[in-house]
Structure 1
Amino acid sequence: MRMWPDGYGRILLDGVDSTNAEALRRAGDLAGPAWICAHRQSAGRGRRGRAWAMPEGNFAASLALRTAEPPERRALRSFVAALALFDAVAEAVGSDRGLALKWPNDVLLNGGKMAGILLEGQGEVLVIGLGVNLVAVPDAAALETGAVAAVSILGETGVRVGAEDFLDRLAAAYAPWETRLVTYGFEPVRQAWLARAARLGERIVARTARETHEGTFETVDASGALVLKTAKGRESIAAADIFFG
């Protein structure tokens, strides 16, 4: 094991229904923040209750943290996790070429979705779930219409990364970003995320449960909301699905 950060637990499982569910089940027994990684996941889930498929050889892990922060502060961990994923993948393949971050919680590689993030909470426990297509992609039929096509690290770069090796890289990448957030607040994390953002300055579509917003992606504000310049003026959107068209 290499580069493992001080103070973080490391739990490896052969298989589980969902690493997020397992993290929530174990939360009461954890002495500190802990990573839970499984080689197989039978009932992974993504945002809005969607299923997250995990072909053999891909990566599924969750980080369980204890925090008494309010929900809006906890939600900023999606940006921390995205930056950690960006760094871990770049380190694993030897380049950050083609990597970009898609608001609110995806990581792209050569324009395709390579990884996703899901935050869930229970009491003072925050669980950050991360799924990464290391070697394979899910069935295209499972994707939402208009969604970004899925890609894998192996398929796009020719580099094969094992799940345990990637866990070590990810944990090492996450810890300093977490420290920045706790020490300096969201602003340095926000600026770093924007420097890696997909389609910044371009027209995108943001769909909520009730509305569709189309405009130029201007920035992410201090609360983590997406800011669009639309025909109606500047609009801040706290949660939505993003489509590039």
Structure 2
Amino acid sequence: MGFSLSPLAQQNGFRLEAFETVGSTNAVALERAQAGDAGKLWVVSKQQESGRGRRGRAWATSHGNLAASLLLVGHFELKTAATLGFVAGLSLADALDAVCPATGFKVGFDGAEKYEGGKSALRVELKWPNDLLADGAKLAGILLESTQLPDNRLAIVVGIGVNVAVYPDDVPYPATSLMKLGAECDAETLFLALSDAWEENSRIWGGGRGLAEIRKRWLARAAGIGSEVAVRVDGTVLRGIFETIDEDCRFVIRDNEGERIRIAAGDVHFGAVASASAE
């Protein structure tokens, strides 16, 4: 089966450009924007050779994984557009619920098992600001990029990478893949569900007007609430207990003195071992 959009995505005017292999789906989407594309374009591939993660880190995807980038063009405020990462996380989690409803493994940041029909259900958790975890290991990542267009419109690219078939073993954090976890799902099936789930979550988001509801839904699937956390921010490590994300989707921790600290950007590490590694 090749890549395809859901009927709802097609009905709402979204288009698809699919590759077997690509350098970077985000780079292609940004090129399309600079060439005058009107947006509502998904760029997808089963292999990405020179993708990027946060802070310029390499994010290549082996064959059989999913690299998907959504180009949106409009008169966005950058602060509002930045919250599309939370829409993307929820959409991917919903898509995984739809295509991997029951598999044979335990999941969850706390290692707890959840059973449905005699099998444990695939339940991913959302790690602020842009990762999805399964069984405490990274399953997917999200990267937002933007470029200002000559007519004062902003092009936003929402990049989503999922370890479907293969996961990297040369990274400083635990990683996993759907195949390793026992899920029977390929990149094409997952993308079809993702393109459908995006429609619902972006409708709720409504240009930022529904951010409160998106925040509520995100928190219901958040990893590590109430856990010890270390956050690296510009070379400094802040420690405390992860309490929530605030109305602007900033990460909120309470330090040892009881002070609440709001963090707009940083690398999050949960637990005592991960906190030590944040140094």
Aligned residues: 239
Q: How does 1:10-29 map to 2 (within 5 A)?
A: 10-27=16-33, 28-29=35-36
2:76 to 49, 52, 69: 69
- Percent of pairs identical after alignment? 37
Q: Which residue of 1 aligns with 2:38?
A: 31
1:163 to 187, 206, 211: 187
Residues 219/193 of structure 1: CA separation in 2 closer, same or farther (3 Å cut)? same
Q: Which residue of 2 aligns with 1:52?
A: 59
Q: Structure 2: which amino acid aligns with 1:117?
A: I
Once the two structures are TM-superposed, the CA of residue 4 in structure 1 deviates from its matched residue by 4.3
Once the two structures are TM-superposed, the CA of residue 203 in structure 1 deviates from its matched residue by 1.2
SS of the residue 1:15 aligns to:
coil
Give the whole-Å Cα distance in 1 for the aligned partners of 2:18 and 2:36.
16
Q: Which residue of 1 aligns with 2:214?
A: 189
Q: Which residue of 1 aligns with 2:125?
A: 100
Once the two structures are TM-superposed, the CA of residue 195 in structure 1 deviates from its matched residue by 0.3
Q: Which residue of 2 aligns with 1:84?
A: 91
Give the whole-Å Cα distance in 2 for the aligned partners of 1:113 and 1:237.
21
SS of the residue 1:231 aligns to:
coil
Q: Which residue of 1 aligns with 2:110?
A: none
Give the whole-Å Cα distance in 2 for the aligned partners of 1:58 and 1:122.
27
Q: Structure 2: which amino acid aligns with 1:137?
A: Y
Give the whole-Å Cα distance in 2 for the aligned partners of 1:81 and 1:189.
10
Task: Give the alignment's Cα RMSD to 1 decimal.
Answer: 1.5
**Does the CA contact (< 8 Å) of 1:19 and 1:61 recur in 2?**
yes
Q: Which residue of 2 aligns with 1:135?
A: 165
1:236 to 242, 253, 262: 262
Once the two structures are TM-superposed, the CA of residue 218 in structure 1 deviates from its matched residue by 0.7
**Does the CA contact (< 8 Å) of 1:84 and 1:173 recur in 2?**
yes
Give the stretch that moved more between structures: 41-50 or 91-100: 91-100
**Does the CA contact (< 8 Å) of 2:70 and 2:158 recur in 1?**
yes
2:235 to 185, 210, 215: 210
Larger radius of gyration: 2
**Does the CA contact (< 8 Å) of 2:101 and 2:122 recur in 1?**
no
Mark the runs of 5 or more structure 2 residues left unpaired by the alignment: 103-120, 149-153, 275-279
TM-score normalised to the size of structure 2?
Answer: 0.82
1:70-125 C-alpha deviation (Å, 9 max, x unpaired): 21111100100000010111111115544100000000111110000000001110
TM-score normalised to the size of structure 1?
Answer: 0.93
SS of the residue 1:154 aligns to:
coil
**Does the CA contact (< 8 Å) of 1:3 and 1:169 recur in 2?**
no
Mark the runs of 5 or more structure 1 residues left unpaired by the alignment: none
Q: Which residue of 1 aligns with 2:252?
A: 227
Once the two structures are TM-superposed, the CA of residue 10 in structure 1 deviates from its matched residue by 1.2
SS of the residue 1:125 aligns to:
strand
**Does the CA contact (< 8 Å) of 2:139 and 2:163 recur in 1?**
yes
Q: Which runs of 4+ in 1 moved over 3 A?
A: 1-4, 95-98
**Does the CA contact (< 8 Å) of 2:43 and 2:68 recur in 1?**
yes
**Does the CA contact (< 8 Å) of 2:8 and 2:199 recur in 1?**
no
Give the whole-Å Cα distance in 1 for the aligned partners of 2:145 and 2:53.
10
2:203 to 179, 182, 188: 179
